[in-house]
Amino acid sequence: MTFANNAHLRHYLIEGGLSHLAVYASFEFEADRFEERLVQVRTQHPYLDQDEAAARAAYRMLASQAKRHKKIAKIKKRLGIRFWIIVAAVLLAGLLCAIAHAEPTPQQMSVIRNAMRGVNLLAPMGSGLAGPAPQQPNGIILQFRQSSSTLATRPAGLVILDCTTNMTCSFSGNTFTLTSSGGGGAHNFLSSTHSDTTPASPSRGDLVTGQGASPTWSRLALGAGGLCLTSNGTDAVWGSCSGGATTWSSLTAGTNSNAGTFAASGNTWDFAASTLFKLRVGAGLTTSANGDLGYDTTNTSWKAFQGGADRFLLVSTNKGSANQIPINNGDGTFTIADPLVSGITAHDAAGSTTNPVAIGGYASAAAPADVSADNDITRAWFLRNGSQVFNLASGGSLVTLGQKAMSASLPVVLPSDQTVSVTGPLTDAQLRATPVPVSGTVSIGTFPDNEPINVAQMNGVAVTMGNGVAGTGVQRVAVASDNSAVSGFGVGATGSAVPANAVYQGVRTSSGLTGLIGCNNTALYSNTTNGNTELVALTGGQTIYICSWQISTSQTTAVSVRLVRGTGTACATGETSITPTYPVQAATSTGPIGLVGMMSPFWQGLAGASGDAICIETNAAVSVQAFITYTKY
| 502: confidence class by pLDDT, cuts 50, 70, 90 | low
Determine which of 153-157, 193-197, 451-455, 609-613 has the lowest per-residue pLDDT on average: 153-157
CA distance 73 to 27: 6
In DSSP terms, 550 is beta-bridged to: 597, 627
What total of structural domains would you count in the chain? 4
* Per-residue pLDDT at 436 exceeds 60: no
CA distance 614 to 619: 17
* Per-residue pLDDT at 68 exceeds 60: yes
Q: How many CB atoms lie within 10 A of CB 614?
A: 25
Looking only at the bridges linking them, the beta strands covering 521-527 and 624-632 are: antiparallel
CA distance 80 to 363: 120
Looking only at the bridges linking them, the beta strands covering 167-172 and 149-155 are: unpaired
Minimal CA–CA distance to 89: which of 116, 107, 66, 63?
116
Looking only at the bridges linking them, the beta strands covering 293-296 and 280-282 are: parallel
Determine which of 219-233, 359-373, 421-435, 490-504 has the lowest per-residue pLDDT on average: 421-435
Minimal CA–CA distance to 624: which of 590, 582, 567?
582
Which residues have C-beta within 8 Å of that of residue 610, sequence separation ≥ 6?
541, 542, 543
* Per-residue pLDDT at 161 exceeds 60: yes
Residue 621 falls within a domain, yes or no?
Answer: yes
Same domain, 520 and 626: yes
Looking only at the bridges linking them, the beta strands covering 333-337 and 315-316 are: parallel
In 150-215, where does DSSP find H-type helix? none
Q: What is the DSSP string of 192-260?
A: TTSTTB------TT-EEEEETTTTEEEEEPPPPTTEEEEE-SSSEEEEE--SS----S---TTTS----
Which range of 156-165, 270-279, 331-340, 407-416 scores highest in mean pLDDT? It is 331-340
Determine which of 74-78, 106-110, 124-128, 495-499 has the lowest per-residue pLDDT on average: 124-128
Which range of 77-86, 333-342, 444-453 scores highest in mean pLDDT? It is 333-342
Kindly report the three-state secondary structure assignment for every residue of 264-331: CCCCCCCCCCCCCCCCEEECCCCCCCCCCEEEECCCCEEEEEECCEEEEECEECCCCCCCCEEEECCC
225-241 pLDDT tens trace: 878 888 888 889 888 77
Determine what percent of the chain is predicted with pLDDT higher than 90: 18
For residue 613, with 0-12 CB atoms within 10 Å meaning exposed, 13-18 middle and 19 or more buried, which class applies?
Answer: buried
Same domain, 53 and 161: no
Phi-psi region of 500 (alpha: psi -120 to 50; beta: other; left: phi over 0): alpha
Do 567 and 532 contact (CB within 8 A), yes or no? no
- If one compares 151 and 246, the residue with the highest pLDDT of the two is 151
Find out whether the peptide bond into 592 is cis, omega within 30 degrees of 0.
yes
∠164-166-172 over CA atoms, to 5°? 70
Same domain, 63 and 90: no
* Per-residue pLDDT at 454 exceeds 90: no
526-580 pLDDT tens trace: 999 999 999 999 999 999 999 999 999 888 888 999 999 999 999 999 999 999 9
What pLDDT does residue 566 have?
95
Residue 117 falls within a domain, yes or no?
Answer: yes
Of 119, 148, 180, the residue that ends a domain is: 180
Backbone torsions φ then ψ of 535, nearest 5 degrees = -95, -45
Which range of 341-345, 464-468, 545-549 scores highest in mean pLDDT? It is 545-549
CA distance 236 to 220: 9
- If one compares 67 and 324, the residue with the highest pLDDT of the two is 324
Note the pTM of the prediction, 2 decimals.
Answer: 0.29
Residue 432 falls within a domain, yes or no?
Answer: no
Determine what percent of the chain is predicted with pLDDT higher than 70: 60
166-179 pLDDT tens trace: 677 777 766 777 77
Same domain, 551 and 573: yes
Report CA-CA distances (Å) from 454 to 407, 427, 432, 457.
30, 15, 10, 9
Q: Per-residue pLDDT averaged across 319-340, rounded?
A: 83
Looking only at the bridges linking them, the beta strands covering 606-607 and 521-527 are: unpaired
Same domain, 526 and 569: yes
What pLDDT does residue 249 have?
46
Which residues have C-beta within 8 Å of that of residue 211, sequence separation ≥ 6?
198, 218, 220, 235
The string over 257-267, giving b where at least 16 C-beta atoms fall within 10 Å of a residue's C-beta and e elsewhere, is eeeeeeeeeee
Helix (H, G, I), strand (E, B) or coil at 43: helix
* DSSP-derived secondary structure letter, 569: G
- If one compares 300 and 459, the residue with the highest pLDDT of the two is 300
Residue 415 falls within a domain, yes or no?
Answer: no
Determine which of 30-39, 262-271, 573-582 has the lowest per-residue pLDDT on average: 262-271
What pLDDT does residue 496 have?
74
Determine which of 28-32, 123-127, 392-396 has the lowest per-residue pLDDT on average: 123-127
Minimal CA–CA distance to 21: which of 35, 32, 6, 37?
6
Residue 21 falls within a domain, yes or no?
Answer: yes
Which residues have C-beta within 8 Å of that of residue 129, sequence separation ≥ 6?
66, 69, 72
Same domain, 560 and 614: yes
| 264: confidence class by pLDDT, cuts 50, 70, 90 | low
CA distance 617 to 493: 48
Same domain, 521 and 617: yes
Determine which of 188-202, 433-447, 465-479 has the lowest per-residue pLDDT on average: 433-447
Do 393 and 399 contact (CB within 8 A), yes or no? yes
Q: Per-residue pLDDT averaged across 150-155, rounded?
A: 62
Residue 15 falls within a domain, yes or no?
Answer: yes
Minimal CA–CA distance to 26: which of 3, 9, 51, 10?
3
Quick one: the chain helix, strand, coil %, rounded to 5?
A: 15, 30, 60
* DSSP-derived secondary structure letter, 627: E
| 246: confidence class by pLDDT, cuts 50, 70, 90 | very low
Helix (H, G, I), strand (E, B) or coil at 391: coil
| 121: confidence class by pLDDT, cuts 50, 70, 90 | very low
Which residues have C-beta within 8 Å of that of residue 256, sequence separation ≥ 6?
248
Maximum C-alpha span of the chain: 168
What pLDDT does residue 96 have?
54
Mean residue pLDDT across the chain: 74
Q: Per-residue pLDDT averaged across 321-343, rounded?
A: 79
What pLDDT does residue 538 have?
94
Determine which of 287-291, 355-359, 543-547 has the lowest per-residue pLDDT on average: 355-359
Same domain, 46 and 100: no
CA distance 419 to 440: 6
Same domain, 45 and 10: yes
Same domain, 50 and 91: no
Q: Per-residue pLDDT averaged across 265-271, rounded?
A: 65
What pLDDT does residue 299 have?
85
- For 290, the domain range is 281-313
Q: Per-residue pLDDT averaged across 94-105, rounded?
A: 49
Residue 363 falls within a domain, yes or no?
Answer: no
Residue 549 falls within a domain, yes or no?
Answer: yes
Same domain, 157 and 49: no
* Per-residue pLDDT at 128 exceeds 50: no
Same domain, 114 and 157: yes
Helix (H, G, I), strand (E, B) or coil at 386: coil
What pLDDT does residue 412 have?
66
In the chain, the amino acid numbered 271 is F
* H/E run at residue 583: strand 582-584
In DSSP terms, 631 is beta-bridged to: 545
Say how many residues make up the chain: 633
Domain CATH number, residue 586? 2.60.120
